[in-house]
Amino acid sequence: MFVQQQNLSFLNLPATRLRRLFSSTVDEQVALPDYPAQMASVYLIGLASNNGIQVLLAFYLRDSRRSVFFVPPGGDVAFDQAEAVLQEGLEFAESMGFILADADIHQYNPEQLDSFWRGLPICRRYVTPEPHPVAKPETPCVAAKATIEPPAEVRKEPSTEVRKEAPAEVRKEAPAEVRKEAPAEMAKEVRIPPVVDLKERRKRCRESLGRFLASL
């Protein structure tokens, strides 16, 4: 039986303490206390300690990016009991659906083992990511209608040619007509006496003519 180790979040230990290591071949979904159900990988570790062997069962939660550790209730175990406790850890992980395989760490040289050990997610400190600023929705870009401007009219400057004035026409004065004065006789109005006066005049003329002839 294993119990959760609340005060342990990652392993900051040298690879030289590593004695046995098993890791899951595929991820499985688990539901651990204080975390939502999610996919996880599992590691069974045997570390050398002053009192014997420290056995740890570590789950790495993919979505939460956290490591959760379980240990035997009695803590470190003696060397002669280590294999039995490791077998108990394998059965505990398999009961949750995991299949674990031996990492065969004895095949690595010290440099390779150190690089492999430090690359495991259970050996990295979890850093709370800073919240990303919420991006403001962009204003939809409306394609502006292309407006074809009419070509600018070329402003014609007034021609600098010498403006030729039309020659001034010689104003011909009409020859002064000789104003002929009508004769004085024509100027006078000819008055035609009425018919009664003519008869009277004729009568007086005959009388005068008769007296003239009588005097001869």
DSSP per position, 60-97: EETTTTEEEEEE-TT-SB-GGGHHHHHHHHHHHHHTTT
Q: Are 51 and 76 in contact (CB under 8 A)?
A: yes
pLDDT digits (tens, 9 = 90+) for 117-137: 999 999 998 766 555 566 666
Confidence at residue 126, expressed as pLDDT on a 0 to 100 scale: 78
Tokens of 62: 């993919």
pTM check: above 0.75: no
Q: Where are the domains of the chain?
A: 3-123
Residues near 19 by Cβ (< 8 Å), separated by ≥ 6? 46, 47, 48, 53, 82
pLDDT digits (tens, 9 = 90+) for 134-169: 666 666 655 555 555 555 555 555 555 545 555 555
Residues near 46 by Cβ (< 8 Å), separated by ≥ 6? 18, 19, 20, 21, 53, 54, 55, 82, 86
Tokens of 54: 């420290």
How are the residues of the chain apportioned to helix, strand and coil, as percentages rounded to the nearest 5? 25, 20, 50
Across the chain, what does the average pLDDT equal? 79
The closest of 16, 71, 10 to 47, measured between CA atoms, is 16
Question: Averaged over 32-49, what is the pLDDT?
Answer: 95
